[in-house]
Amino acid sequence: AQSVTQLGSHVSVSEGALVLLRCNYSSSVPPYLFWYVQYPNQGLQLLLKYTSAATLVKGINGFEAEFKKSETSFHLTKPSAHMSDAAEYFCAVSPTGRRALTFGSGTRLQVQP
Amino acid sequence: KAGVTQTPRYLIKTRGQQVTLSCSPISGHRSVSWYQQTPGQGLQFLFEYFSETQRNKGNFPGRFSGRQFSNSRSEMNVSTLELGDSALYLCASSLAWEGYEQYFGPGTRLTVT
């Protein structure tokens, strides 16, 4: 069974600082990987996805993630945090051939002024 | 193009009752998935439909069921509600089968008293 581990349930950064949200997955074969963001009282918005085309994936709002097979990681980064980035972020994995997403437990990002 | 819509947005039910939630996917999308989000269990996959057929089911009791109509709209039903069914129920649609990202609706907040 596939699983996703997000290290750090809460991350706090200063406005303008680097954002790094960690995600590790377990899978016997390279899966599809996703990052979603959830603002309060809203659904999930897709930030970016990895589907084996390129290891460095660029997403919306200045976010990007790098797939590292050797480390089974898919960490999310943004060079400069903005107040509007404060939200909960979820890493998810989907095995090839199936659509069901397995989500990590989420990381709440707080951005300090 | 309109996003995924879910109705109702908020619902309060009594233990033992049943409830039906509705999801209208993005126009042209043929795949619909349902997820349950709770503070304790996080985001968990319920089931997914493609072309009116259930393709996959998560680890939930038989009280949880769903269906998809010919216009791709989907409904999920929960019978004999329990207090633990209180959650945000999220619907996601995607264009087709494997490899396509899922777009989430705002969710239906179900409270069971």
On the question of pLDDT at B63 being above 80, the answer is yes
- B48 min Cα distance to partner chain A (Å): 7
Nearest CA in chain A to B56: A100
CB contact under 8 A, A101 and B33: yes
Q: How confident is the model at residue A30 (pLDDT cuts 50, 70, 90)?
A: low
Q: How confident is the model at residue B11 (pLDDT cuts 50, 70, 90)?
A: very high
Contact partners, residue A83, CB within 8 Å, separation at least 6: A15, A111, A113
Cβ of A45 under 8 Å from any chain B Cβ? yes
Instruction: Note whether A6 and A104 are within 8 A (CB).
Output: yes
Peptide bond into A95 cis (omega under 30): no
When mean pLDDT is compared across A17-21, B18-22, B49-53, the lowest value belongs to B49-53
Q: Which of A51, A97, A106 comes nearest B42 by C-beta?
A: A106
Q: How confident is the model at residue B61 (pLDDT cuts 50, 70, 90)?
A: very high
Cβ of A2 under 8 Å from any chain B Cβ? no
β-bridge partners, A13: A111
On the question of pLDDT at A11 being above 80, the answer is yes
User: Which whole number is the average pLDDT over A32-47?
Assistant: 92
When mean pLDDT is compared across A19-23, B14-18, B46-50, B93-97, the lowest value belongs to B93-97
On the question of pLDDT at A3 being above 90, the answer is no
- Convert the pLDDT of each residue in A53-91 to its tens digit: 788 999 999 999 999 988 999 999 999 999 999 999 999
Cβ of A51 under 8 Å from any chain B Cβ? yes
Q: How confident is the model at residue A29 (pLDDT cuts 50, 70, 90)?
A: low
Q: Which of A49, A51, A103 comes nearest B43 by C-beta?
A: A103
On the question of pLDDT at B111 being above 90, the answer is yes
Q: A85: which 2 tokens?
A: 């980035």
Q: Is pLDDT larger for residue A98 or for residue A92?
A: A92
User: Which whole number is the average pLDDT over B64-78?
Assistant: 97
| pLDDT for residue A100 | 84
Q: Which residues of B touch A32 (CB under 8 A)?
A: 99
Share of residues in chain A with pLDDT > 90 (%) = 70
On the question of pLDDT at B3 being above 90, the answer is yes
- A4 min Cα distance to partner chain B (Å): 12
- Alpha-carbon distances, residue A100 vs A89, B42, B54, B55, B94 (angstroms): 18, 15, 12, 10, 12
Q: How confident is the model at residue B96 (pLDDT cuts 50, 70, 90)?
A: confident
User: Which whole number is the average pLDDT over B39-53?
Assistant: 93
How many whole angstroms separate alpha carbon A45 and alpha carbon B41?
A: 20
